[in-house]
Structure 1
């Protein structure tokens, strides 16, 4: 009998979480997430799965975030017919998140196809439709924290509260090895581990004494200062007061689930205490509005859930469901706050607000979540002078600020402690869901704590582990790769092209007159001709 683990996402990047476990004849997934970031990485969402969906027996889902769940409708559409196990909170969130993901794809593909027709290019189809998403929801089967399920013979699973978002879980798995002397192999998939300070959740929980731990490393290189709820609100108040003076506008790109609800709770509490101006707060995300309703339904499961319910009834909070209501925000005079998705600025209504406000000196864009390499949010964080949004160049005169206090992820110190607390881990620690800096830093932290560095792995995309191999060096074996390792989690040629267009336009603007501009263009033409020859 063999037991193998294939890493089909979140390898040297923070999105696309998807792991295939094969134990004898049983094949199942832990997560089936969407890739985000550069166009090269996102193109994987449109390609074939590196496995046959119809051969997957079941799925165990850690939580609702789209980078962990977003390709489930595609999986069902292409032949998967088994159950998907997730907590009640996760299923309730996905009842609005997956149809919303499909709606965004349909809308963006429609816009792209209008441009493709004008350019004589072939049309494309969405990864999946709203109907596909609604069909996938029928496959979900709810589980309860701390209770074992047996989805297949020789396989048991138990969900532990990960403290990340509503319904989030780390998943413990027991496999019967089927060797001459049968034993249990115990694995733990961390999912995303929550931070020490959160408004809504207790400290993450998980078992000890495992064969393998597969752990996220998103903030493996980050060290956050000690934070309380009060100090978090102090920092947010300082940023909001700076942004709102002189009729300023504060724009906050925010992940629709959990981040938005915590952020609104803090902003409304500060406004109630008169610590920030009582400016209107627009929640401009249909998904975030529906997710907030789910949080209200589950408030009894949250820490201080009644205070959250009360805050959401504030007259300062204004929700904008329709696109027309969203556009009406542009007409608002005076200070106001806009909270809109997506959190990395790569889709949704936030791009419309950035297009309208980035060029304004009295606007502030406050990043409150992780920005993947190649995303518009990361490009803005890195200090670019101009960006292209929906084909238009937009100068960046707004203040770009980052407040890393609402992250749903544990930092490097907390991740290290979480892994130590899972010990002893007898066979290996596999680090996933992180970019190069986070992976390397967490590896080094663990090695300094005395863990065997040769048993700490940071696999590349589509790598396969033989979990029964005795030698660590023989555990990982090559497999066909969809992307070469050097392009995963990096800026791609699309980013380079966008930057080149902006640089050319800047040079033309700086030129003294039309003659000088023609000289610039001749030099570019000459360079292209030399490249062709």
Structure 2
């Protein structure tokens, strides 16, 4: 009998981690992500596996975002020595993501230990290091979309990836198990993209499953149409320009940044970006954008045609007013610009990165605008701002929030409620459906609609709950 146990992204959005156990494949993890929000050092030291990493036979990785992949080095440090199966594009992105994450973590840890030493407190040992990142990366095996790959010894289990349309390389994971002469099919949605997202193709629609793990991030609401985004973004830029301010955009390095660059490039080519200076102020996002250029063949054909029509071969060339600022001195110089700057910087939920430094210089100025472009998890600075905080703490000091706070919901990389319902309706079978990767309120709303319209057999698993199938 096979079973699935959710150890993360269970009635929460981050920390995706689900353990599949079956005689056909052994013990296989679906994702191994870190939780987000709060102090990065404290958060990592609080992370504990509810299983022995050495007992895991393989990892199936849906995509490269850290809330799905960030604990892979910790898993390896704990004794995991199996393969990490993912798409080739995910493997390439993962090298950037994990090295950036460990670099930020070790720098934060060094800062905290200097402070502890001054106060006579015990020093904190690193919970993982660069060598663990390299161990994880060496375990990655790239599997192309729609190609079956053996999972474990023999031919009793296999994995097949399908395009999830979320970010480059993101996958819907289809696992086939042979148990006692019967075939069982598990489908793990990973994160599903929007059907009208720029750059990304529409999520693949599958028709058969015995059990379905389905994300529910936006289970309680729909996004505005993607076509409205350019109008909304143009209006925000016009209003900020008239006030003589700057625009700060906290952006996820993978996916969201590239979509923002594409939209800004479109505005430039229609004459709507005259006078603005655009800064991509994230070393990781710069590297990721180069990876996107390398894998253009995986992106939406119609959107890539726009690059060809503009005689450009990369996203950066599509936006000629763009400046890349990988160096710290270049980043600091941006804050001397009093108006007319569009600053794209990480992190997307403002939990770290350079965006917090730009906030320090501009969040208290009423002529500036902060534009959020994606989901903000509970406990993050981004969520506080979206929820209307009047004051925030940055680098130990309190700042009043006077900048305009705006959200471009259409730029989310996640499917909205109707798209989730439509994707679930594509299954001809009626699989047991587990709603994961969502806050409980959103999950309950989606569950009610799925039960009413599709007569779903549905569970919203709690953390640690095991379900047999």
Q: Do they fold alike, i.e. is TM over 0.5?
A: yes
3-state SS of 2:151 partner? strand
1:34-88 CA-to-partner distances (Å, cap 9, x unmatched) read 1012469973664331111111111111111111111111111211111111111
3-state SS of 1:8 partner? strand
The residue that corresponds to 1:500 in the other structure is none
CA contact (8 A) 1:34 1:45 kept: no
CA contact (8 A) 1:35 1:42 kept: no
CA contact (8 A) 1:161 1:206 kept: no
- The 5 Å alignment of 1:117-156 reads 117-152=117-152, 153=154, 154-156=156-158
Structure 1 residues 40 and 291, CA gap change in structure 2 (3 angstroms) = closer
Distance in 2, matches of 1:459 and 1:253, equals: 31
1:229-248 CA-to-partner distances (Å, cap 9, x unmatched) read xx321121111211222321
1:158 maps to which of 148, 157, 160: 160
Structure 1 residues 353 and 92, CA gap change in structure 2 (3 angstroms) = same
The residue that corresponds to 2:310 in the other structure is none
1:118-160 CA-to-partner distances (Å, cap 9, x unmatched) read 3333222344223321232111001011111112142111101
The residue that corresponds to 1:398 in the other structure is 403
CA contact (8 A) 2:197 2:226 kept: no
The residue that corresponds to 1:66 in the other structure is 66
Structure 1 unaligned regions, length at least 5: 468-533
Q: Which has the higher mean CA deviation after the structures are superposed, 129-138 or 314-323? A: 129-138
Q: Which has the higher mean CA deviation after the structures are superposed, 72-81 or 370-379? A: 72-81
The residue that corresponds to 1:281 in the other structure is 278
1:364 Cα deviation from its structure 2 partner: 0.8
CA contact (8 A) 1:105 1:129 kept: no
Structure 1 residues 311 and 156, CA gap change in structure 2 (3 angstroms) = closer
1:409-463 CA-to-partner distances (Å, cap 9, x unmatched) read 000111011011123124x1000000012111110110111414xx311111121
Structure 1 residues 40 and 460, CA gap change in structure 2 (3 angstroms) = farther
CA contact (8 A) 1:15 1:34 kept: yes
3-state SS of 1:185 partner? strand
1:206 Cα deviation from its structure 2 partner: 3.4
Q: TM-score, normalised by structure 2?
A: 0.94
- The 5 Å alignment of 1:32-431 reads 32-38=32-38, 43=43, 46-152=46-152, 153=154, 154-178=156-180, 182-228=181-227, 231-303=228-300, 304-305=303-304, 307-308=306-307, 309-313=313-317, 314-426=319-431, 428-431=432-435
Structure 1 residues 212 and 188, CA gap change in structure 2 (3 angstroms) = same
3-state SS of 1:405 partner? helix
Distance in 1, matches of 2:394 and 2:124, equals: 20
Distance in 1, matches of 2:188 and 2:82, equals: 21
Structure 1 residues 286 and 310, CA gap change in structure 2 (3 angstroms) = closer
1:271 Cα deviation from its structure 2 partner: 2.2
3-state SS of 1:305 partner? helix
Distance in 2, matches of 1:371 and 1:31, equals: 20
CA contact (8 A) 2:281 2:345 kept: yes
The residue that corresponds to 2:441 in the other structure is 437
1:360 Cα deviation from its structure 2 partner: 1.1
1:282-336 CA-to-partner distances (Å, cap 9, x unmatched) read 1011110000000111113222336453541243111111212211111224311
CA contact (8 A) 2:425 2:454 kept: no
CA contact (8 A) 2:229 2:408 kept: no
3-state SS of 1:331 partner? coil
CA contact (8 A) 2:371 2:408 kept: yes
1:90 Cα deviation from its structure 2 partner: 0.5
Structure 2 unaligned regions, length at least 5: 308-312
Distance in 1, matches of 2:205 and 2:123, equals: 47
RMSD of aligned alpha carbons: 1.8
1:234-264 CA-to-partner distances (Å, cap 9, x unmatched) read 1211112112223211000010011000101
Structure 1 residues 253 and 193, CA gap change in structure 2 (3 angstroms) = same
CA contact (8 A) 2:61 2:84 kept: yes
1:389-419 CA-to-partner distances (Å, cap 9, x unmatched) read 1211111111111111111100011101101
Structure 1 residues 287 and 118, CA gap change in structure 2 (3 angstroms) = same
Distance in 2, matches of 1:207 and 1:356, equals: 48
CA contact (8 A) 1:387 1:394 kept: yes
Distance in 1, matches of 2:337 and 2:48, equals: 46
Q: Which portions of structure 1, spanning 4 or more consecutive aligned residues, are displaced by more than 4 angstroms?
A: 38-42
1:270 Cα deviation from its structure 2 partner: 0.6
3-state SS of 1:149 partner? strand
Q: TM-score, normalised by structure 1?
A: 0.83
